[in-house]
Amino acid sequence: MELYPTPGPNKAGELARRAAQDGCDLVLAAGGDGTINEAINGLVGNPVVFGALPAGTANVLANELGLSNRPDRAASQLLHAVPTRIPLGAYDRPGHSRRHFALMAGIGLDARIVYELDLNLKARLGKLAYWHGGFRQLGRRVPQFTIKVHGVPHVASFALITRVRNYGGDFEIAKRVRLTDAEFEVVLFQNHEWHDYLRFFGAVVTNRLYTTPGVTICRASEAVIAPPEDERIYVQMDGEAVGSVPATISSVPDSLTLLIPKGYSDRSSHADHAAMPSRN
């Protein structure tokens, strides 16, 4: 076993790639969602088995899989996990290199929160810094953009293109998706006044989002996003600011071998059965 400490941001992907090239057949990454995202970008298309150990500000992947928040207990759970080949999401922006994600891409409001996040505050407060960033949006206009799903254009102010049910470690927005699915669940918030988001937030908390006016939910393997002429629309992936639109978000099959606990599919299937039909 070899340990590769990350010397700073944007280094975990390079270290994971080097470990695979050095002949490692298993790579475990300990960190938050950003570190996990970097690591998987170093392993895309590689047969090396990957596992996530929770640490950092938040680890949505570990929460989604039902792993303990303690790294030692999570490591014990991974001993009995099953290597499973899964798709990943991809973010393609003209003139930039492709970047992959395991969890979700957010376009619009939540990406603006991430983009404007005070990193010093995040270091001190952890996830509370995101709540602080969200409250700072109150009273601000939320710009709209166009997103095409199955060739049909929609106007939205926040789009969540997700491969997991869990959002930020605290809520479930998507209800009928799992990491092994070929398609995303796409959740579009179409209203753009800040008070509409208070209503949307209430619907998430009370599990009524699927029947809330102003919300469209569908399945897709690709979405094409175009900005308005006079606004910059930001994109976040797995909780990290990555850029802006225009962009295409797509599902890339057979991308990563992930250690998945045996009970994950059973829990996901139960959630699918309990979920209400989508609103289109």
Cβ-count burial of 210 within 10 angstroms (0-12 exposed, 13-18 middle, 19+ buried)?
middle
Q: What is the pTM of this model?
A: 0.87
Q: Rounded to whole angstroms, how far apart are CA atoms 34 and 50?
A: 15
**Second-level CATH architecture of 12-86+256-263:** 3-Layer(aba) Sandwich (3.40)
Q: Enumerate the domain spans of the chain.
A: 12-86+256-263, 90-254+268-274
| pLDDT at residue 266 in the model | 61
Which two tokens mark 255?
């991308």
Q: What is the DSSP string of 133-162?
A: HHHTTTT-----EEEEETTEEEEESEEEEE
| pLDDT at residue 265 in the model | 63
Q: Parallel, antiparallel, or unpaired for β 49-54 and 26-31?
A: parallel
| pLDDT at residue 169 in the model | 65
The amino acid at 5: P
| pLDDT at residue 121 in the model | 74
Q: What is the DSSP letter of 211?
A: G
Q: What residue ranges of the chain have pLDDT lower than 50?
A: 269-280
Which two tokens mark 168?
């930020």
Q: C-alpha dihedral over 264, 60, 241, 34, to 10 degrees?
A: -100
| pLDDT at residue 136 in the model | 76
90-254+268-274 placed in CATH 3.20.20.100: no
SS3 content of the chain, % helix, strand, coil (to 5): 30, 30, 40
| pLDDT at residue 10 in the model | 80
Cβ-count burial of 9 within 10 angstroms (0-12 exposed, 13-18 middle, 19+ buried)?
exposed
